[in-house]
């Protein structure tokens, strides 16, 4: 696959002021501008998208952390794909485990994926098991993938990005990150699952890794783990640390 690695910041519910969001974004942009071998994206909370949209450029794009599956209507508190498009948002994280824990279902994710594609937004579909102890964790992930793409045709599948995010490896309380081997093994399984659904189209689908990534381990995930990109949570909140990750990925 001849695509640049994606390095995506998921800021989650941070930072607490627009001023800080803009400052951090600008700092990341100055590093991203010098590192064009990677595609860098920041996904801030919705409320900062408008200010960051005017700061974004081809070196540092913006993404959303969620989106509703309808384009308009009486849906209090939701944000539509048309609103995101209007702000030059290119990517949307869907089905993050923290949202699934709040009640988002596989069916919701499937409807959001098709709405993204219809509106030329790139969905980043997160899948991952809560524990490696369960015998059927591969089946669980296989099922999450199948459900997510039920409403799109095989030829649209290369427009979807997948992120393997083992729930047990996410966040500052995670006992450990996945190993590069575990990430690679799951990437191969995800690719096979996608090939069963979409045949050759599966070869051009990007499969990223996320969960406790930091400057010290990203080379491992991108090289030995063969990840097509990284979804970075905690380490993306400090622009210097995230900038270091962009630079390392760029120079691999």
Name the site residues for ligand PGA (rule: CB under 6 A).
10, 165, 170-171, 210-213, 231-235
CA pair distance 154, 96, nearest whole angstrom: 23
Tokens of 41: 């994206």
Cβ of residue 153: shortest distance to ligand PGA, in angstroms?
A: 28
CB 126 to ligand PGA: min, Å: 7
Report the residue number, 170 or 186, with the smaller CB distance to ligand PGA. 170
CB 94 within 8 A of CB 108: no
CA angle 46, 84, 233 (to 5 degrees): 45
Compute the Cα dihedral for 94, 247, 5, 34 and give only its sign. positive
- The nearer residue to ligand PGA, 24 or 212, going by C-beta atoms, is 212
* Cα separation, 110 vs 246, whole angstroms: 31
| Residue 216 beta carbon to ligand PGA: minimum distance, rounded to whole angstroms | 13
CA dist 95 and 146 (Å) reads 13
Tokens of 171: 């966040």
Q: What does the alpha-carbon distance between residue 64 and residue 58 come to, in Å, rounded to a whole number? A: 17
Query: Closest CB to ligand PGA among 146 and 214?
Result: 214
Smaller CB separation from ligand PGA, 211 or 225: 211
Minimum separation from the CB atom of position 14 to ligand PGA (A)? 11
Query: Which residues fall within 8 angstroms of residue 244, CB to CB, at 6 or more apart?
Result: 215
Residue number, nearest CB to ligand PGA: 233
The residue (of 10 and 24) whose beta carbon lies closer to ligand PGA is 10
Helices 239-250 and 18-32: angle between axes, nearest 10 degrees: 20
Catalytic residues: 96, 165
* Residue 176 to residue 179: CA distance in whole angstroms: 9
In which residue are the tokens 């005017």 written?
A: 54
Considering the complex, what minimum distance in angstroms separates the CB of residue 121 from ligand PGA? 18
């Amino acid at each position: 696959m001849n695509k640049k690695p994606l390095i995506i910041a998921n800021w989650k519910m941070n930072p607490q002021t627009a001023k800080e969001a803009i400052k951090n974004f600008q700092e990341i942009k100055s590093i991203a501008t010098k590192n064009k071998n990677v595609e860098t994206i920041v996904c801030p909370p919705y409320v900062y998208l408008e200010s960051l949209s005017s700061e974004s450029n081809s070196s540092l794009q913006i993404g959303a952390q969620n989106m509703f599956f309808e384009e308009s209507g009486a849906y209090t508190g939701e944000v539509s794909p048309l609103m995101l498009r209007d702000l030059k948002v290119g990517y949307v994280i869907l089905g993050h485990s923290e949202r699934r824990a709040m009640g988002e279902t596989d069916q919701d994710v499937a409807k959001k994926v098709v709405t993204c594609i219809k509106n030329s937004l790139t969905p980043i579909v997160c899948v991952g098991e809560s524990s490696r102890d369960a015998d059927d964790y591969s089946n669980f992930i296989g099922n999450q993938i199948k459900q997510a793409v039920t409403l799109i045709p095989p030829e649209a599948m290369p427009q979807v990005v997948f992120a393997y995010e083992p729930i047990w490896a996410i966040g500052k309380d995670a006992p450990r990150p996945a190993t590069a081997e575990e990430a690679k093994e799951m990437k191969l399984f995800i690719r096979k699952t996608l090939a069963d659904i979409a045949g050759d189209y599966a070869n051009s689908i990007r499969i990223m890794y996320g969960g406790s990534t930091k400057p010290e381990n990203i080379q491992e995930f991108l090289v030995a783990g063969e990840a097509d990109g990284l979804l970075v949570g905690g380490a993306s909140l400090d622009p210097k640390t995230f900038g270091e990750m962009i630079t390392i990925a760029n120079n691999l």
